[in-house]
Chain A
Amino acid sequence: MTPRERVMATINRLPVDRAPVDLWCTPEVLDSLREYTSLDDEFAVYDKLGVDKIVWVFPGYAGRYFDPNDSGEITMWGVPTRMVKAGLATYQEYINPPIADFFDPSELETYHSWPDPDRFDYEGAKALAKQARSWNFATIGPWISHYEIYCQMRGLENALMDTVAFPDFLDATVERIDAIQTVMLERMLKELNDDLDIVFISDDMGMQSNMLISLESWERFFKPRLKNWCDLIHSYGKKVLYHTDGAVLPLIPGLIECGIDILNPIQHVCPGMDTAGLKREFGKDLIFHGGIENQRILPMGTVDEVIEETRMCLDTLGKGGGYICCSCHNAQAGTPVENILAMIDTVKTY
């Protein structure tokens, strides 16, 4: 099977030759894999390693692609960023949230940086998707989000307090964030058509020990909008991957009601998120993507620990199919190449 066939068969619950293995990693880790394979092209690296890469096909905006290595960028939502050296890694962090001081929804009218759906680079996304196809990789895109974008624009602490203290402002802002992306999403679905397999919806609702906001808040502000997006995506015959880190057990039944097909990244060390329990409870409704523990085992564990961890995920999340193995979020700078190879090889030989 090709990587794409393996991924799509898994999502559609059809027989596969083996479970697929995807990889999310930071630029530093990708560079270490380039060095290991002596290959420069990202897709060639995945191909050589046997990764069933689900290629991120996110459209650029206003003539440029979002580049995590650029500094001093302002996002398409008007949020300034800066590069921060974090040990071995470098991250682009959001700074100075532009609507932090807004108080009344009427102020949103005059906000200077709402993205224009016409200025997304659909042609560039199409070309990228075709390139991924030429390597027989599945594709995922665009990246869309309600609350994460709101948090960037508003500042995290304000955004969290707004769920309780300023619900009307939150609601009005998220409505605009939703509307812009809905137009962009539909354009992507139409223009990429057969070259697109999955849409990436990202809204982190979990922290290490519990939900970040209450379930009631999620149901009020985000659930109906998420369901609308899922319905739209499904009407084009595409699948939905929903990303949220953390301890989100209480959220999962609602995600299923919205129509989520694939849940990522399954941070199973968090309370309530144990892999066997999730599979038992939700395995018939959800495909799982992710799993490989990435706060200790993948970055700091031994090869044997990575093998054991990968087998555990395959035994539980992968029981009877419906599992795409992957690092639980991006493998971080300093993660040993041997550990990444151990994850991939364990899936391939399982």
Chain B
Amino acid sequence: MDNLYEAIYKGNFIAAKTAVSEALNSGLEPQSIIDKSMCPAMEAIGKDFEEGKAFVPNLLLSAKAMKIALDILKPLMNSEQKAIIGTVVIGTVKGDLHDIGKNLVASMLEGTGFNVINLGADVSKERFIAAAKEHNAQIICLSALLTTTMDYMQEVVEAVRADGLNVKIMVGGAPLNAEFAAKIGADGYSSNANEATVLAKRLIAS
């Protein structure tokens, strides 16, 4: 088990900073460090979380360690070297400020190789569409916690379809389920951050 994998898996962001420097000093390429140590560590903590063995604090700390390491590596890579699975625009829908679950999904997506445009909370349909166009996104992810805001997701889906954008739409949030996702015309639903990465990869491939 290498130091960087362990630092990210355990969410030790101070150790992650040291370990990423060590990996670079040993002559490894940034992309190889990401692929061989960092993504597997995020996948492992994501799986533990999905199985109830790890908790939100662990996932947040791993995401923080991952981000610190990525921030060191990214400036060292030119655009051809960046292997990106796809671009995702993500946000909590208008009227809803609850963003911790959405941020976990964003971190997991970023940690598993996606380019993630995180629009934050209280995001209007216009902003989702503008960001998806600007960044050539393949996927838009919508989040809501409140029963009073989840209906806005349908407005976003309808606006995206009316605009003719070629994107897949994923939804998530505590009061949602697959049935709701299907009803509003979304392309998929996931109940946790790990499941979201699997779904996003499947939607990209489809």
**CB within 8 Å of B: which residues of A?**
84-89, 91, 93, 156-157, 160-165, 207-214, 217, 294-296, 299-300, 332-334
- Tell me if B96 counts as interface (CB < 8 A to partner A): yes
Please name all residues of chain A whose beta carbon is closer than 8 Å to the beta carbon of B56 when the two chains form the complex: 160, 207, 212-213
User: Can you name 8 A-B residue pairings with CB atoms under 8 Å?
Assistant: A84-B95, A85-B95, A87-B146, A87-B151, A89-B146, A157-B100, A160-B100, A162-B57
Interface size on B, residues (CB 8 A): 25
Residues on A with beta carbons closer than 8 Å to the beta carbon of B191: 208-209
Say whether, besides A208-B174, A332-B146, A332-B147, A84 and B55 are in contact (CB < 8 Å): no
Indicate with 1 or 0, residue by residue over B135-156, a CB within 8 angstroms of chain A CB atoms.
Answer: 0000000000011110110000
Residue on A nearest B122 in the bound complex, by CB: A84
Q: Mark contacts of B189-206 with chain A using CB atoms, 8 A cut-off: 1 yes-contact digit, 0 otherwise.
A: 001100000000000000
A87 touches B148 (CB 8 A): yes
Please name all residues of chain B whose beta carbon is closer than 8 Å to the beta carbon of A161 when the two chains form the complex: 11, 57, 60-61, 64
Determine whether B87 belongs to the interface, using a CB cutoff of 8 Å to chain A: no
CB distance from A298 to the nearest CB of B (A): 9
Query: A157–B103 contact, CB under 8 A?
Result: yes
A-binding residues in B (CB < 8 A)? 11, 52, 55-58, 60-61, 64, 95-97, 100, 103, 122, 146-149, 151-152, 174-175, 191-192
CB-defined contacts of A294 to chain B, threshold 8 Å:
147
* Residue contact A209 to B149, C-beta cutoff 8 Å: no
- Which partner residue on chain A sits nearest B11 by CB separation? A164
Report the bound CA distance from A294 to B100 in whole Å.
Answer: 21
B107 CB to nearest A CB, Å: 11
> Which residues of chain B are within 8 angstroms of A212 by Cβ–Cβ distance?
55-56
Known pairs A87-B148, A161-B61, A165-B61; A156 contacts B95 (CB<8 A): no
Closest A-B pairs by Cβ, 6 of them: A87-B148, A86-B95, A295-B175, A89-B148, A208-B174, A160-B57
A156 touches which one: B11, B100, B147, B152 (CB < 8 A)?
Answer: B100
Cβ-defined contact, A88 with B148, below 8 A? yes
Q: Which residue of B lies closest to A163 (CB)?
A: B57
Chain A residues near B146: list those with CB within 8 A.
86-87, 89, 91, 332
